A and B are shown apart, each in its own frame.
Chain A
Amino acid sequence: DIVMTQSPDSLAVSLGERATIKCKSSQSVLYSSNNKNYLAWYQQKPGQPPKLLIYWASTREFGVPDRFSGSGSGTDFTLTISSLQAEDVAVYYCQQYYSPPYTFGQGTKLEIK
């Protein structure tokens, strides 16, 4: 199984500041034939299902604000929120869909400082 490890486990950022969450996979999720990284980011607010934010490591899902961005390749990935808003308080998960079982990171809890 591909193990997904996120850091940090929790993060407190001031409103309007940048938030950065890391995700590392135990093996590459880059498929060489199409040069795509099979990595997604989700946001989960309390009592709600996860919401897809980013796929192919850096493509924003329709309707996701452009303050959310994804980057990275191979085994190291980053989710960045450029200017934290109050509604961004949530737990964020990365997921690899390169190879079954499709595993998730343990989650990063983002709070307001």
Chain B
Amino acid sequence: QLQLQESGPGLVKPSETLSLTCSVSGGYSSSSSYYWGWIRQPPGKGLEWIGTIYFSGTTYYNPSLKSRVTMSGDTSKNQFSLKLSSVTAADTAVYYCARGQGAVSPFDYWGQGTLVTVSS
């Protein structure tokens, strides 16, 4: 069974950079064969796609966040990461990593999510 696990600080100060890692394990989890995305959900609100990465280096970012987002991957570790710079309280959310079968596909496996709070 494929498993995704998000990790990173649960508290980030305003104006700093949020950094999260998603570790992929189990099943046929060759991370280089799929697309991997980040989605966030502010408390009590809906879902927002942040971006998707393929390990060829191709990335797709939400234009509303593009100037602040960087995604990267490490196939040797089966991990991929998210960096979001210059955070504000509006970036407080549960951050999910997820797998897509292709560049244009829904997300079929999700991590449990990690709450990141932006506060001084």
Given contacts A49-B96, A49-B112, contact A104 B107 (CB under 8 A): no
> Which secondary structure characterizes the binding site on chain A?
loop
Does more than half of chain B's interface fall in helix, strand or loop, or is it mixed? loop
Q: Which residue of B lies closest to A102 (CB)?
A: B49
Task: Give how many A-B residue pairs fall within 8 Å (CB-CB).
Answer: 52
Contact A101 B108 (CB under 8 A): no
Flag B45-79 by CB within 8 Å of A: 1 or 0 each. 01111001000000010111000000000000000
Interface residues of B (CB under 8 A from A): 46-49, 52, 60, 62-64, 96, 98, 104-108, 110-113
The segment from A15-23, A50-58, A73-81 found at the interface with B is A50-58
A52 contacts B46, CB within 8 Å? no
Name the contact of B63 in the complex, choosing from A61, A101, A104 (C-beta under 8 A).
A101
Interface residues of A in 33-68 (CB under 8 A from B): 38, 40, 42, 48-52, 55, 61
**Chain B residue, CB-CB nearest to A6:** B46
B46, B47, B113: most-surrounded residue (chain A CB, <10 A)? B47
Give the distance to chain A from B104, nearest Cβ to Cβ, in Å: 6
Smallest CB-CB separation from B4: which chain A residue?
A: A49
Answer yes or no: A106 CB below 8 A from chain B CBs: yes
B62, A101: Cβ atoms closer than 8 Å: yes
Asked if residues A49 and B106 are in contact (CB atoms below 8 Å), the reply is no
**Nearest residue, chain A, Cβ from B64:** A101
A48 to B47, CA, bound (A): 13
Is the CB–CB distance between A52 and B106 below 8 Å? yes
- Answer whether A93 and B47 are a contact pair too, CB < 8 Å, given A49-B113, A51-B110: yes
Please tell me if A103 contacts chain B, counting CB pairs below 8 Å.
yes
